[in-house]
Chain A
Amino acid sequence: MSKLFKSKFFAIVLVMMITVVAGCGQEKEAQSEENELEGTIQIAGSTSVQPLSEELVKAFMAENNKVRINVAGGGSGAGVKAAAAGTADIGASSRELKEEEKNVKEYVIALDGIAIIVHKDNPVNDLSQEDIKKIFAGEITNWSELGGEDGAIHVYNREDGSGTRGAFTELIMGKEVSITDKAIIQNSTGAVRTAVAGDKTGIGYISLGGINEEIKALKVDGVEATVENIKTKTYKIYRPFLYLTQKEPEGVVKAYIDWVLSLEGQGIVAEHFIPVK
């Protein structure tokens, strides 16, 4: 037993030392007086916004090579909290702010559709909003009821509080009906996708930007989940992506947000999401 404890103790001490050393090195660099942008930005929040932020950051840092921007996940709730508390320079949220959260500055940087996804081999291609609602409410439990092959429907849901789940609940389920307790819960866009990709009778919902060849996105009421269809408002399931700051942004943070909302930034948004300008 002592062997085990001893090695654990050393591991903990080591981790503590590394943390302290790493913490010392991370002081923010001051912004220079020159025209060239310099500084560090910390972005944290929604895992749905994260891939977009990473793309934007990569392009922005390529142009301004003295700027360092770190993108972290954590979830919309964490993003709002981090922005309000100032622990991150920019918080990211993939849902509208609640009333009690409106004490921060918000910028809509993109719109995002929510795609309903199933296994690649599922013969069902198209569902009505009503059917989707019934599936997620647990009223329809077999694919044969929807013209698919016989098999119990496995509903994959996100955790309570997720921005994607919040938006999905608001847009599909409405106020009266809640998602069945019998759903399997996965806690990120990627986890839902992996789970559905491995389950022939699974169904889940993910950010439009998260669609890939592993899974199949369903048409909703005959409309395909694409950027064009959201722009023309024919595909109805979409929500805003928000950047949040504690105060009026300045310096390098302002420069970054302005750039994201510029033609160039929105061009990158347009690759997978819907630009706002």
Chain B
Amino acid sequence: MQRSQREKVYKALLFCSALMALFVIILIGGFIFKEGLPVFMKYGFKEIFWGTEWRPSEQLYGQWPMVLGSIYITLGALCLGVPLGVLTAIFLAELAPRKLVSLLIRPAIELLAGIPSVVYGLFGMTTIVPVIRAISKKVPAYAEDPLLSTGYGIVAGAIILSIMILPTIINVAEDAIRSVPQDYKEGSLALGATHWQTIYRVIVPAAKSGIMAGVVLGLGRALGETMAIIMIVGNSPVIPHSLLSSVRSMTGNIAIEMAYSSGEHTQALFATGIILFVFIMLINSLAMFIVNKEAG
């Protein structure tokens, strides 16, 4: 075969591989919309999205409790996970002795990323939930409430999720901090700034968009997490009025009920899928926008 021909074949092969990803996402998106839209059509977008009652056996398919549930759990996880993750990233990139990092901290972070989510769930269910339950039983206002004193809920979910998103945030933020040009740092130090001043006045601001990208990716990971969440948030489809309230996430809703559902119930679960899909798309576009801004 001619060299140029061979070149063409390889190019075509690579192009087809790349198309595959596009094809799959269109296929999945198309399928979810095809299955889920009929419910939106039948009951109206407002009834489904803003509806506050999820009772499939009574034809009530309100998604709002799950949307709120996902948002609360995710925000909670970010509140706990982002400061910890970003500070760790700064430490790793700027301050840590190389030996400590390569021998101890990095393997630990990688291990954290490698633990299956069901194990996180089990850990949460058997350790974090009982602790929260014990504490909430000491508070009279919560002890009497059957929904708030179980230990299952937003707080437990947020704690576990914040640990699960740490590796994502740390890795991305650390890359961003490391890619800040050395000149900036040297310039700042040369002007007489201390190392710490340099870090929080020069390096972190310069790496801001990269750190933000890490946060948004962590957000996506938190929103999409399913198995661990099912095991620790209680899964009650109610509008949460307290951080201790049991909630259900969108992912959990689909995973819990899909196996047993039939007919319209299944379609309503696909409707949850549509909402989740749109959420994730928005978040990914946001991440892409941030990264592009950084590049451009």
Which A residues are within 8 Å of any B CB, using their own CB?
1-4, 73-78, 80-81, 98, 100-101, 138, 141-142, 151-155, 159-163, 169, 178, 181-187, 191, 194-195, 198-199, 201-202
Do A162 and B125 touch (CB < 8 A)?
no
Cα–Cα, bound, A75→B256 (Å)? 10
Which of the residues A101, A159, A184 comes within 8 Å of B257, measured between beta carbons? A159
26 example contacts (A-B, Cβ-Cβ < 8 A) are as follows A3-B171, A3-B175, A78-B260, A80-B262, A98-B262, A100-B262, A141-B144, A151-B137, A152-B149, A159-B256, A160-B257, A161-B57, A161-B257, A161-B260, A161-B262, A178-B57, A178-B58, A181-B238, A184-B236, A185-B234, A187-B256, A191-B231, A198-B126, A198-B129, A199-B150, A199-B151
A276–B210 Cα distance when bound, in Å, is: 65
Provide the residues of chain A in CB contact with B124, threshold 8 Å: none
Q: Select which of B58, B145, B175 is within 8 A of A152 by beta carbon.
A: B145
| Interface residues of chain A: helix, strand, loop or mixed (majority) | mixed
The minimal Cβ–Cβ distance linking A199 to chain B, given in whole angstroms, is 7
Give Cα A161 to B56, complex, Å.
8
* Contact between A183 and B236, CB atoms less than 8 A apart: yes
With contacts A81-B262, A142-B144 taken as known, whether A154 is within 8 angstroms of B126 at the C-beta atoms is no
Against A, the Cβ 8 Å flags (1 = close, 0 = not) of B264-275 are 010000000000
**Residues of chain A with a CB closer than 8 A to B231's CB:** 191
Find the A residue at minimum CB distance from B260. Answer: A161
Is the beta-carbon distance between A1 and B56 smaller than 8 angstroms? no
**CB neighbours of A163 from chain B (8 A):** 260
A4 and B260 contact, CB distance less than 8 A: no
Contact A198–B146 (Cβ < 8 Å): no
Are B234 and A184 neighbours in the complex by a CB distance under 8 Å? yes
Query: Are B235 and A185 touching (Cβ within 8 A)?
Result: yes
Least Cβ distance of B175 to chain A in Å?
6
Give the residue of B126, B144, B217, B256 whose beta carbon is less than 8 angstroms from that of A185: B256
Q: 4 closest A-B pairs (Cβ-Cβ)?
A: A161-B260, A75-B259, A185-B235, A77-B260
Knowing A152-B144, A160-B265, A186-B235 touch, does A1 contact B172 (C-beta < 8 A)? yes
Q: In the complex, how many angstroms separate the beta carbon of B115 from the nearest chain A beta carbon?
A: 15
Determine whether the beta carbon of B171 is less than 8 Å from that of A160: no
Q: CA separation between A88 and B235, bound complex, in Å?
A: 30
Asked if B256 contacts A182 (CB within 8 A), the reply is no
Contacts of A101 in B (CB 8 A): 262
Taking the nearest CB of chain B, how far is it from the CB of A117, in angstroms? 16
A161 to B129, CA, bound (A): 26
B233 to chain A, nearest CB (A): 9
Q: In the complex, which residues of chain A have a beta carbon less than 8 angstroms from the beta carbon of B151? A: 199
**Residue in B closest to A161 when the chains form the complex, CB atoms:** B260
Say whether B261 contacts A182, CB under 8 Å: no
| Cβ contact of A181, chosen from B130, B237, B257, B259, cutoff 8 A | B237
**Contact flag A187-B230 (CB < 8 Å), given A75-B259, A160-B56, A199-B133:** yes
For residue A201, which residue of chain B has the nearest CB?
Answer: B149
Please indicate which of the listed interface residues B137, B150, B213 has the most CB atoms of chain A within 10 Å of its own CB: B150
Does A138 lie within 8 Å of B146, measured CB to CB? yes
A183 to B263, CA, bound (A): 25
Is B152 an interface position by the 8 A CB rule? yes
Query: Is B168 at the interface (CB under 8 A from chain A)?
Result: yes
Q: Mark B29-73, 1 if CB is under 8 A from A, else 0.
A: 000000000000000000000000111111000000000000000
For B214, the closest partner residue in chain A by CB is A1
Contacts of B213 in A (CB 8 A): 1
Q: Which of A74, A163, A182, A186: most chain B CB closer than 10 A?
A: A182
The docked-state distance in angstroms from the alpha carbon of A101 to that of B214 is 48
CB distance from B284 to the nearest CB of A (A): 12
Residue from A74, A155, A185 whose CB has the most chain B CB atoms within 10 Å: A185
In residues 274-296 of chain B, which contact A (Cβ within 8 Å)?
Answer: 291
B260 touches A76 (CB 8 A): yes
Instruction: Report B22 CB to chain A, min CB distance, Å.
Output: 15
| Closest-CB distance, B183 to chain A (whole angstroms) | 22
Rounded to whole angstroms, the CA-CA distance of A30 and B248 in the bound complex is 46
Give the CA-CA distance A196 to B279 in the complex, in Å: 34
Most buried by B among A2, A74, A159: A159
Nearest to A76 among chain B residues (CB) is: B260
B159 contacts A by Cβ under 8 Å: no
